[in-house]
Chains A and B, each alone.
Chain A
Amino acid sequence: MILYWLVAASLGPEQYAEAQRCFAALPTQILMLGWTGAFYYHLCNGIRHLFWDSGRGFTLENAYRSGYAVLAAALIMTALTWGCVVTQGGPV
């Protein structure tokens, strides 16, 4: 999706307009909503792993706590991002 966006932009206004229409379509929007969630979850859980690499947060209690924190943070960040999309008059 990122590659399509970049390549379309590099090809010219007409190709970019076509890409814009594709991104605005409902199936694409649903896909991108899912990817946004997966991306933020991966990002937050990755930070959790980097923290674990430092040797901290290994008690069972803390592992559960950070797990739920990652889930909550990913949901909030996804909601914020799509809040921006909707309020900017973007699709949906």
Chain B
Amino acid sequence: MSLRSELGRVRGLGSAKSGLHHWWHQRLTAMALIPLTLWFVNGVLGHMDASHEALITWMASPFVSTMLVAFLLALFYHAKLGLQVVIEDYVHNEFHKIALLTIMKLLVAFAALLGVIAVLRISLAMP
């Protein structure tokens, strides 16, 4: 048994690795989502009364399609990170925790894919 203090032993080793990765990605997606969400809300407001054709034409432009896909990826990744923290912090039964985390991650991944596929369908259908 070492007589070194706990602090002495962990000092210089860095963090618990994946925790910092999670923390940093949450902030990265948060920063990306500030302009992306405001752009999206503005885009929705601008197309509330637009015809289907006008909406599709807008969505299919390369810039708008890219922004929509970027928005969806950042949004659902940010949501996954946030929900993960909630489950890890508040579900204390280990089996329930793992099960919920698994279901949540699969659902979020499915939702992100669904959104991206919808945008790509519109984008790629346009000449």
Q: Does B27 contact A (CB under 8 A)?
A: yes
- Contacts A10-B118, A10-B121, A53-B27; is A47 near B48 (CB within 8 Å)? no
Chain A hits for B37, CB < 8 A = 39, 43
A6 and B119 contact, CB distance less than 8 A? yes
A-B contact pairs, 19 of them (CB 8 A): A2-B115, A3-B111, A3-B114, A6-B68, A6-B115, A6-B118, A6-B119, A7-B114, A9-B55, A9-B118, A10-B118, A13-B53, A17-B52, A39-B37, A43-B37, A46-B30, A50-B31, A88-B49, A89-B49
Interface residues of chain A, those whose CB is within 8 Å of chain B, are 2-3, 5-7, 9-10, 12-13, 16-17, 39, 43, 46-47, 49-50, 53, 81, 84-85, 88-90
